[in-house]
Structures are given as structure tokens and as C-alpha cells.
Structure 1
Amino acid sequence: MENIHPILDAADIERIIARIAHEILEVHKGANNFSLVGIQTRGVFLAKRIQALIKKIEGIEIPAGIVDITLYRDDWTRISHNPVVQATDVFFSIDGKQVILVDDVLFTGRTIRAAMDAIMDYGRPDRIELAVLVDRGHRELPIQANYVGKHISTGLSESINVLLTECDGIDKVVLEKR
């Protein structure tokens, strides 16, 4: 376990999500013309948490969808010959709306590029923004987040693992050195 270092605990994650929700509301001057779309898997849970906080703050339940980017990845054939495709559920119109993609970790930018491609298959939003829990750098594409929980400098041989109660039984973020 000496190769795993804690970065964020449950209280840190809760504070970060609250800050991101407030930043989104400040930038958008309320909760009227935007929706959230979580990227499978942990981005979905983060989007739902942000959605719940916005409802608590503003009394408005904004739409929150789910996108799976598996078949939009530029490397899916390298990952598996039989990729596991999860649910995509964008049950609302995104035409003319502002869409905020939500993900756990921003790394090379390739996942976000794939998510934007997937979103465009559902319509033409006015704007796409990005909210991430952790930005670890090392971009391969010119993509940056509008809302960042924490910037963590990492080496290429390290990884950031986000654990969330909904799928992992605990909230924490760890840095793993390989």
C-alpha cells in the first residue's frame, strides 16, 4: 500500500462538489438554461450530486443526463475487441442549451473529446462546458475544464483513482505510483 497516497477524503469531495455547484450557478446566473451530462461511470454520480445541490440551493431540478463514450473513443479497438457499452440517457433536448459535461478526472482530453462527439449526436448545444473533480494535466488535446475541483500534478507513470460511495462504497481520491 506504500504506492497509494490519499489526496482527497469524503469531506474534501463534498466541499469541492458544493463549490463547483455554486460556481456553475454564479456563472449561469441561476439554474435556467443549462443541463448536466455525466460521463460514465463516476462522472454520472458527480453530476447527480451537483444536480441535487443545485435543487437544494435554487429549488430547481435541472436535467441531468448520462453519456457513455466507449464507441466514440479513438482507441476503443485497442482496449477490447468486445467493448462494454454502458447506458446513454440524454432524455432532454440540448438544442440551444448550455451543456455541462461532468467527469471525475481530466487527463489527456481524449475522453472529453469523445464525450463532445457523443453529445453532438443529440443536437446542437449553444455551449459545452466541463466540470471535473480532478485535473491532473498531461493534455494531448487542447481541452480545459471550466470548473475544476483540484489540480494535482502527476507523473505519467502515476494514476489518479477516484472512489465514490455509489460504486465503490467510499468517497476518496488517491494517487497511485506504479
Structure 2
Amino acid sequence: MKLNLDVNSLLDTLEANLREDPIMGKNPHMIGIRSGGLWIAQQLHQRLGLETPLGELDIAFYRDDFSRVGLHPTVRPSHIPWNVEDAHIILVDDVLYTGRTIRAALNEIFDYGRPAQVLLTTLLERPGCRELPICAQYVGAQLNCDQKVKLLGPDPLELHLIEDKEEVA
């Protein structure tokens, strides 16, 4: 079932918040977490007119539940086309849920070097479900912890409520 949230309006909110953040004066670099986070990052990267290429993370090998969920057949290598050392990074994901995806992404980023700053922005968050002490600086909208969603895209981007038997974010 399609969720009654306008992705473009949520992107407008995130863009406006990011434009006001001091990170924008520090030549920020952006990284999207595959796949939904990358789709959101592509939109924000373009809207903000960032000059450095967009980085992409596939955190499958960094997950702490790897032995439980297994390897997805579409795992692709991450690509960060610039030096992470001392960079100001905007990390983008689609849904902040337990915090484990973000923990995995931070571990992978630090394998590339030590950034000066990492700012987290997500399209949606499900507060009350967090398993790790991770929060986003900017969030497009909040859902109830029991609302499970899937972002479909990349063109057009749509949010759908899903049933328990389907894949969740």
C-alpha cells in the first residue's frame, strides 16, 4: 500500500535543512547507502549542487547480523571517489530504524580514513526502535515504530507500507 507521504516534499525539507547547516561552508562530500539511501543522496547531491562526486556504500559485509541475514546476491563494491581523511561528510540513508545500518556505514567509512565530521540525514526514521545510540541530524519525517516501509525507485521515488512477510527497512 502506498504511504501518504510526498517524497519530494520530504526532500525539500532535507535540502532546506542542509542548506542552513554550517557543513555547507566546508566543501562537504556526500555518501549514499545502497540502495534507498543512494537514491535519496542522488537527489540531494543534485539539489545542493555539490561539486565532489557522490560516494556509494554497500554495507553488506559490515553488518553485525551478516550471519543471520546472509549475503544479498546483488552486493556491489562501495565507491568513494575522494579522500575521506579530514573530509566533511553528509551520510544519507532512506530509513533510520535500529541504527545498525548506520553503525556499519560508519565502520566502512573509517576503513577509508578519518573524516573531520559525519552528518547523518535520513528520509524517514522510526524512533522507539533504536538498538544503538544513533540519531540523525536531519529527518524528513517520523513513522511509528510498527510502521514498516519500503522505498521504491529510483524514478519515481515512492514510499510503500509493507506487510510483515515482506522485506522491511
Structural mapping, 1:115-126, within 5 Å: 115-126=105-116
Q: Which residue of structure 1 lines up, in the alignment, with residue 167 of structure 2?
A: none
- Answer with 1 or 2: which has the greater Rg: 1
Counterpart CA distance in 2 for 1:82 and 1:136 is 24
Q: Secondary structure at the match of 2:121?
A: strand
Structure-2 residue corresponding to 1:94: 84
The correspondence for 2:101, drawn from 89, 96, 111, is: 111
> Percent of aligned positions with the same letter in both sequences?
34
Q: Normalized against structure 2, the TM-score is what?
A: 0.87
TM-score by length of 1: 0.83
Q: Aligned to 2:150, which of 138, 157, 161?
A: 161
- Once the two structures are TM-superposed, the CA of residue 142 in structure 1 deviates from its matched residue by 0.2
Residue deviations 1:98-154, cap 9 Å, x none?
111101111000000000000001110011111101101200000001110000113
Structure with the larger strand share: 1
The aligned length equals 163
Hey, what's the Cα distance between the residues in 2 that align with 1:45 and 1:87? Answer: 16
- SS of aligned partner of 2:3: strand
Q: Residues 85 and 113 of structure 2 are in contact (CA less than 8 Å); yes or no, is this contact kept in structure 1? A: yes
How big is the shift at 1:43?
0.9
User: What root-mean-square deviation, in Å, do the aligned CA atoms of Structure 1 and Structure 2 show?
Assistant: 1.9
Aligned counterparts, 1:46-125, within 5 A = 46-55=40-49, 60-80=50-70, 84-125=74-115
Cα separation, 2, equivalents of 1:62 and 1:31: 14
